[in-house]
Amino acid sequence: MERVRGALDADLGGRVLLSQDHGSYDPAQPGGGVPRPYTYLSEQFLPALAAAGVTGDQIALLTERNPFAAFAR
């Protein structure tokens, strides 16, 4: 979260893409461990950013406009 806030504070928010590499299983655990949903970003990280003062427009930049610009070609 500190790095995302730092990028936003430095006016680099338009260059940030969020990702989640760790989700449904843990390959380090026998049998993959206990499955977990891919909901960390939407259920925990984004609300924490909002609580830390990141605006709705900045969150939309990170979750909508930046991915669209990166992948809609």
Please give the model's pTM, rounded to 2 decimal places: 0.80
Tell me the C-alpha distance between 45 and 29, whole Å.
Answer: 24
pLDDT value, residue 67? 96
pLDDT the model gives residue 22? 64
Residue 36, pLDDT score: 76
What is the per-residue pLDDT for 26?
A: 76
Number of H helices, E strands in the chain: 5, 0
Averaged pLDDT, groups of 10, the chain, 73 residues long: 95 94 75 82 95 97 97 88
Where do the domains of the chain lie? Answer: 39-73
Q: What is the pLDDT at residue 23? A: 63
